[in-house]
Structure 1
Amino acid sequence: MPDQGNPQQDGFIDDSLHSARQQLEGHIGDVIDQYAGRVPGGERFTPQAKQAVSGILDGLQKQLENEASNRMGNMGGALGGGNNNTNNQQSDQNGLL
């Protein structure tokens, strides 16, 4: 049976990443709004710019979640649990960075 990780630990990681992502997305959105306000007609492009940033952050968040999950799985392996490297290989192939 594959190692499912520690649900409490995974929840903490997911919550932390989600919170950090929301703060970052809000800050970047504010910067986009400020910049668009300085460029004539720039407001037309703010939805597209914010959508692009959201897509980039989605990819980054998935990579971070996979890496955190892999690290937790590796810690479980050292303690007698399973070791799951399939997510790490997949995130390396599909990664944006």
Structure 2
Amino acid sequence: MNNQGNPQTEGFIGDSLHGARQQLEGHIGDVIDQYAGRVPGGERFTPEAKQAVSGILDGLQKQLEAEAANRMGGLGNPGSPATGNGNQSSDQGGLL
């Protein structure tokens, strides 16, 4: 997975997600192999099943990286909702 152009997900976050994804993908691949071995002719479907799992994990990893980038991007930014004072008007539209 390529994290270029997204410095918030590089380093610790990107490495953590990549490591967790590799571990999960390996485990699911093993389960697919075990299941396919129990079904007559199942071995011929393992590459397609593993490719489908990889696609699902790609989408999940992208979502997690985007969420991490959003959360990391809000830290230290005085106008962000993460600090509790972003985009507040002093008038509040006369509702106070």
**What TM-score does the superposition give when structure 1 sets the normalisation length?**
0.71
Q: Which has the higher contact order (CA 8 A, sep 6+)?
A: 1
Change (3 A) 1:36 1:55: same
Question: Which aligned pairs between 1:1-97 and structure 2 lie closer than 5 A?
Answer: 7=7, 10-78=10-78
Deviation at residue 77 of structure 1 after TM alignment: 1.7
CA distance in 2, matches of 1:32, 1:39: 11
Structure 2 gap segments, 5+ residues each? 83-96
* Contact 1:10-1:69 within 8 A present in 2 as well: no
CA distance in 1, matches of 2:76, 2:41: 54
Q: Give the structure with the larger helix fraction.
A: 1
Deviation at residue 76 of structure 1 after TM alignment: 2.8
Secondary structure of the residue that 1:76 maps to in structure 2?
A: coil
Q: Which has the larger radius of gyration?
A: 2
CA distance in 2, matches of 1:54, 1:70: 24
RMSD, matched Cα: 2.4
How many percent identity over aligned positions? Answer: 81
Moved over 2 A (4+): 7-10
Aligned length: 77
Structure 1 gap segments, 5+ residues each? 84-97
* Contact 2:8-2:72 within 8 A present in 1 as well: no
Secondary structure of the residue that 1:77 maps to in structure 2?
A: coil
